[in-house]
């Protein structure tokens, strides 16, 4: 390894490890895309670089001799093909190359692997704007979310995984002299330990957050010495392809096999995820996506698996200080990226007698209308609406919204028709709201991915808590929002939802929302309910990727 990388990155690495323990605010990569931070022409150059990719081959990867070229991406904003083709390799080729690279990468010391990987994040930083436009036109995220989520926030999550992996592999001494008093003499042994990586890793990406959800597992496996095959969703390849290209360049610059990190794309007529996942040489799998395929991944024998699947996220309304501020906060949460976030709220539990606002009780009907009005006001705001809603990634999501009436509830807000002034052909859809009875559990006990909000009228807050916690236990949940001014109620919510493995955000108003998770502070997904079996980034997320092996022999002389 080039010695300057250790000198260049060690201070940041130490700071990142400290941040893991302190859990206070830490962000190494600024989320503000200002010219002062990233350069006067960074945005323009990133947009031009993205545009130049359209209808061309992506030839940056250091993966030799592709068998063919393939690409299936469409822009949700323009509803036309990006025309980008990526090198296709058979699963057998990818796995064999990864296994060959494994035996070089596993012998690199953990500290050196960490600083090499940190250098790849610096190269990624130089391309944040290009990645932003790539994300925007593959996922439908609005520009600002595309920049922040796929750029700085993803890089910080990757740094978090690097720091955690580095810490866990350097927790114990490499060697020591062990001495045990035996009376007239002492037993002496030289002991040493190695953190031995498990082998070839596979990361299966999703279509909505192609870098943010991919890089934690990717970097957790890499820092622990495992070669990684990145298998993105066929509709969202470009953002992570750029990252993989930069990783390969840094590996090659440091005399390492670029196949330590490979991109795997589906052929136009052949999906390869199952072939890769079932290959006996693949030992580690990270997966983000739907529950059915996630359950299949978890069922594979002989694999160590980390999953994030679907969840049914709840809002519990009991009592508030300012209903208008709460309604505005919730309207933003359900509208952000048109509800296409794994943390977006879906089920809103409201007591039939209404909620306390200050010293008065506001009727249930008025609470529902307040929230509906806040949603309508937000999406119809020409300066805010399009930039919050973005576009719909998958046409199936739009169909799901249009079919939401089949749930059988009372319609509160039904039209999702809305236009984007910048993109006339954008696939858009604003939130719809339906009221359903608490007894009709079937209607609200599954994830309805997209901008769909269900209001469930309950007997009281106790029933709201019971239903929300049961939903999380039985069907999974990644987030929960709760509003109460009563400390006893708050304690009960914390207790019940913690047993359901679900984090709770209390009384959010203003500029912080239930959807958001902060690197180095919030654990994303707990692994404690059916929404997933892993968490970004707790120690288990990295220590299951390697094994401690010890060696000992008598001291001579």
| pLDDT (tens digit per residue) in 451-461 | 999 999 999 99
Query: What's the predicted TM-score (pTM) here?
Result: 0.96
Average pLDDT of the chain, as a whole number: 96
Among 381, 378, 338, 300, residue whose Cα is nearest residue 141: 338
282: phi then psi, degrees, rounded to nearest 5: -80, 120
User: How far is residue 415's CA from residue 423's CA, in Å, rounded to a whole number?
Assistant: 20
pLDDT at 557: 74
pLDDT at 2: 46
Let me know: does 288 contact 214? Beta carbons within 8 Å: yes
CATH of domain 3-22+33-309+535-551: 3.40.605.10
Among 345, 344, 359, residue whose Cα is nearest residue 317: 345
Let me know: does 257 contact 64? Beta carbons within 8 Å: no
User: How far is residue 259's CA from residue 97's CA, in Å, rounded to a whole number?
Assistant: 6
Neighbouring residues of 435: CB distance < 8 A, sequence distance ≥ 6? 368, 409, 410, 412, 454, 455, 456, 457
pLDDT at 4: 87
Those residues of the chain that have pLDDT short of 70 are 1-3
- Please list the residues that pair with 432 across neighbouring strands: 452
Other CB atoms within 10 Å distance of the CB of residue 424: 10
Let me know: does 98 contact 89? Beta carbons within 8 Å: no
User: How far is residue 225's CA from residue 98's CA, in Å, rounded to a whole number?
Assistant: 12
Among 376, 273, 381, residue whose Cα is nearest residue 330: 376
3 state DSSP class of 261: strand
Let me know: does 452 contact 342? Beta carbons within 8 Å: no
pLDDT at 21: 97
Domain spans in the chain, listed from the N-terminal domain onward: 3-22+33-309+535-551, 314-506
Let me know: does 82 contact 54? Beta carbons within 8 Å: yes
Q: Angle, nearest 10°, between helix axes 238-253 and 128-139? A: 150
DSSP single-letter state for residue 413: E
pLDDT at 359: 85
DSSP single-letter state for residue 336: G
Element (H, E) at 46: helix 42-53
**Domain 314-506 belongs to what architecture?**
3-Layer(aba) Sandwich (3.40)
Sheet holding 200-204, edge to edge: 261-263, 228-231, 200-204, 282-288, 304-308
Alpha-carbon Rg for the chain in angstroms: 25
């Amino acid at each position: 390894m080039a010695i300057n990388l250790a000198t260049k990155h060690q201070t940041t690495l130490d700071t990142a490890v400290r941040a893991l323990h302190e859990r206070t605010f830490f962000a190494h990569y600024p989320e503000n895309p200002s010219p002062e931070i990233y350069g006067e022409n960074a945005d323009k150059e990133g947009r031009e670089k993205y545009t130049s990719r359209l209808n061309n081959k992506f030839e940056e990867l250091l993966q030799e001799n592709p068998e063919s070229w393939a690409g299936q991406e469409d822009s949700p904003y323009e509803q036309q093909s990006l025309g980008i083709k990526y090198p296709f390799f058979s699963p057998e080729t990818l796995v064999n190359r990864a296994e060959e690279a494994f035996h070089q990468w596993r012998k690199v010391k953990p500290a050196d692997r960490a600083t090499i990987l940190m250098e790849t994040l610096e190269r990624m930083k130089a391309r944040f704007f290009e990645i932003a436009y790539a994300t925007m036109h593959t996922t439908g995220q609005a520009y600002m979310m595309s920049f922040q989520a796929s750029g700085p926030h993803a890089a910080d999550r990757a740094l978090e995984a690097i720091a955690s992996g580095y810490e866990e592999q350097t927790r114990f001494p490499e060697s020591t002299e062990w001495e045990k008093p035996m009376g007239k003499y002492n037993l002496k042994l030289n002991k040493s330990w190695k953190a031995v990586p498990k082998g070839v890793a596979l990361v299966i990406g999703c279509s909505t957050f192609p870098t943010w959800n991919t890089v934690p597992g990717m970097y957790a496996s890499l820092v622990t010495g495992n070669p990684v095959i990145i298998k993105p969703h066929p509709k969202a390849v470009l953002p992570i392809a750029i990252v993989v290209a930069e990783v390969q360049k840094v590996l090659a610059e440091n005399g390492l096999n670029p196949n330590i990190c490979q991109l795997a794309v589906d052929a136009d007529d052949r999906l390869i995820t199952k072939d890769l996942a079932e290959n006996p040489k693949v030992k580690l799998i990270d997966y983000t996506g739907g529950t059915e395929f996630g359950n299949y991944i978890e069922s594979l024998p002989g694999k160590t698996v980390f999953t994030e699947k679907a969840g049914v996220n709840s809002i519990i309304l009991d009592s508030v200080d300012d209903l208008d501020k709460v309604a505005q906060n919730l309207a933003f949460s359900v509208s952000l990226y048109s509800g296409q976030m794994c943390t977006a709220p879906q089920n809103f539990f409201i007591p039939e007698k209404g909620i306390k606002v200050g010293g008065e009780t506001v009727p249930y009907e008025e609470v529902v209308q307040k929230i509906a009005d806040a949603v309508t006001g937000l999406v119809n705001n020409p300066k805010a609406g399009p930039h919050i809603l973005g576009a719909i990634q998958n046409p199936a999501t739009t169909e799901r919204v249009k079919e939401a009436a089949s749930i059988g509830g009372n319609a509160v807000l039904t039209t999702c028709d809305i236009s984007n002034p910048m993109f006339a052909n954008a696939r858009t859809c604003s939130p719809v709201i339906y009221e359903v009875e608490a007894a009709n559990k079937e209607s609200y006990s599954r994830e309805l991915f997209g901008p769909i909000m269900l209001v469930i009228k309950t007997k009281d807050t106790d029933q709201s808590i019971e239903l929300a916690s049961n939903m999380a236990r039985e069907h999974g949940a990644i987030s929960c929002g709760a509003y109460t001014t009563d400390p006893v109620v708050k304690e009960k919510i914390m207790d019940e939802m913690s047993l359901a493995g679900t984090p709770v955000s209390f009384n959010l108003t203003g500029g912080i929302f239930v959807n958001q998770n902060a690197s180095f502070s919030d654990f994303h997904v707990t692994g404690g309910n059916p929404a997933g079996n892993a968490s970004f980034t707790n120690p288990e997320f990295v220590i299951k990727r390697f094994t401690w092996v010890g060696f000992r022999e008598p001291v001579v002389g």
